[in-house]
Amino acid sequence: MEINLAQIIFQMINFGMVLAALTYLIYKPVLKLLEDRRKRVADAAEAAAAVMKEKENLEKVKEKTLSEASAKAKKMEDEIRKEAKADAKLLLEESKSEITAKEAKFSSELAKLKKEELKSMESEVKKAALTIAEKVLGSSIDAKKHQKLIDDQINEIIESL
């Protein structure tokens, strides 16, 4: 077998041209495609990382908001309880004061009523005593005693004039 240098050179040029054509038509576009894909993947990963970071931030904000809301609700609850307790205490004190005042008024009225009743009874007793005395005296004084009494009283009146 004889080596044909021209043939070899031709083949080499041919190969080079095919290689150049393939490089230009396939290799470079494929490389560009791969690069574009890598870039898209990287962008997507970056976007995903940003989204994850955003999600984490949102979670933190959510937790903070929930915590603040919970603390605020607790504070409001405490304040409401405190106010309710103070109101109840005030109401109780007012009720006690009112009851004390009513008791004092009732005692005063009762004492007044007792006094009036006692006075009325005393008056009734006086009237009864007077009536009894009148009846006893009226029935026990005879004409002789009447005359004697008048004689005595004439002297008494004359002395007093």
Residues 71-130 interacting with other proteins (rule: CB under 8 A): 122, 125-127, 129-130
Nearest residue (CB) to other proteins, 61 versus 150: 150
Closest approach of Cβ 161 to other proteins, in Å?
A: 5
H/E stretch holding 12 reads: helix 5-22
Asked if 147 interacts with other proteins (CB under 8 A), we say: yes
User: How far is 97 from 94, CA to CA, in rounded Å?
Assistant: 5
Which amino acid, residue 18? V
CB 141 within 8 A of CB 149: yes
Nearest residue (CB) to other proteins, 37 versus 135: 135
Which amino acid, residue 67? S
CB 151 within 8 A of CB 143: no
Nearest residue (CB) to other proteins, 86 versus 150: 150
Closest approach of Cβ 149 to other proteins, in Å?
A: 5
Nearest residue (CB) to other proteins, 78 versus 152: 152
User: How far is 78 from 84, CA to CA, in rounded Å?
Assistant: 10
Closest approach of Cβ 113 to other proteins, in Å?
A: 22
User: How far is 90 from 96, CA to CA, in rounded Å?
Assistant: 10
Give me 136's structure tokens: 């006893």
Q: Contact residues for other proteins (CB under 8 A)?
A: 122, 125-127, 129-130, 133-134, 137-138, 141, 143, 145-147, 149-151, 153-154, 156-158, 160-161
